[in-house]
Structure 1
Amino acid sequence: MSRIGKKPVDLPSGVTATISGQTVEVKGPKGTHKFRATDDVTIMQEDNAITVMPRGSSKRARQQWGMSRTMVANMVKGATEGFKKELEITGVGYRAAVQGNVLKLNLGYSHDVDFAIPDGVTVTAPKPTEIVVEGSDPQLVGQVAANIRDWRRPEPYKGKGIKYKGEFIFRKEGKKK
């Protein structure tokens, strides 16, 4: 049995869920999210919680059971709290600034990098060496953070580049004479 799938997803106050067939729609203060589950699971709403149960004992049904429950839980969390990724910039002269709907990055290239901020995500730069990506969709927040990080990944010798906050960079020793 799925340990994750067995747990019901509690709906906090201010969040409403509508289930029609295999589609779940969650509305909250931070937005509305929809998820269409496969036919391998049954989704029910009881009192103030959503439960997901498998329709059979096949391997696919058990896989979809835990995944569907996690998707519903992420929609509820996104509608209430939202998701957040923090990035740190390390390097001499490397910095970031938000101007309107564009993130301007100085990353040691001969030109500035202009990153267009997509809809559904808020990007802020509280310090010149910090970037905060926030939104209600965990996939979109993670993808935007990964796209920003791809402009200058941290290198293993001096650690220069853009890294996730708390990420460990394996350091290498330089050449010896």
Structure 2
Amino acid sequence: MSRIGKHPVAVPAGVDVKIDGKVVSVKGKLGQLSLTLVDDVSAELADGKVVVKPANDSRRAYTMWATSRTLVNNMVKGVADGYTVNLEINGVGYRAAVQGKELVMQLGFSHDVKYPIPEGIAIKCDKPTSITITGFDKQKVGQVAAEIRGWKKPEPYKGKGIKYDNETILRKEGKKK
């Protein structure tokens, strides 16, 4: 039995959840998201909570039970509060700034790296060495953060590159004479 799946998803005030067959739609102050559940899982709205249950006793139903519940929970939390990922830039001359609808980064290349900001995502650079990515879709926020980090991953010798603020870089010792 799933330990995560058996807990219902609480719907906070200001969030509207509609279940139409296999489609779960969530609307809140930050935006609107929808999810199509797999055939092996069903969802229902009861007492202001979304209850996700397996439709049958198959292995796939039990596998997708907790996954579907977590996806619904992420949608509800996203439209109510939103998600934030912070990135830090380390390195001499490495910096970032938002110009219009683009994130412009100097990362030691011969040219500036221009990253177009997707719809539904907000990027702020309070300092030239910090990037804050916010949005209501957890998957999209994480994907944007991973793409930005992918331009210059942190290296283990000097720690130069773009890293998550809670990430620890394992440092290596340099060459010896």
Gaps of 5+ in 1: none
Does 2:171 correspond to 1:171?
yes
Q: Structure 1 vs Structure 2: percent identity of aligned residues?
A: 55
Aligned to 2:14: 14
After superposition, what is the alpha-carbon deviation per residue over 1:66-121, rounded to whole angstroms, capped at 9, x for unaligned? 01100110010111011111000000111111011011101111111111111111
Aligned to 2:97: 97
Which TM-score applies when normalising by structure 2? 0.98
- What is the number of equivalent residue pairs in this alignment? 177
Gaps of 5+ in 2: none
Aligned to 2:144: 144
Q: Where do 4+ consecutive residues of structure 1 move more than 3 Å?
A: none
Aligned to 2:110: 110
1:65 Cα deviation after fit = 0.6
Counterpart of 1:15, as a letter, is: V
1:144 Cα deviation after fit = 0.5
- Aligned ranges for residues 64-83 of structure 1 at < 5 Å? 64-83=64-83
Distance 2:96 2:40 in 1: 46
Which TM-score applies when normalising by structure 1? 0.98
Aligned to 1:54: 54
Distance 1:38 1:92 in 2: 49
Root-mean-square deviation (Å): 0.7
Distance 1:91 1:148 in 2: 15
Distance 1:13 1:121 in 2: 23
Distance 2:110 2:55 in 1: 58
1:42 Cα deviation after fit = 1.5
SS of match in other structure, 2:123: strand
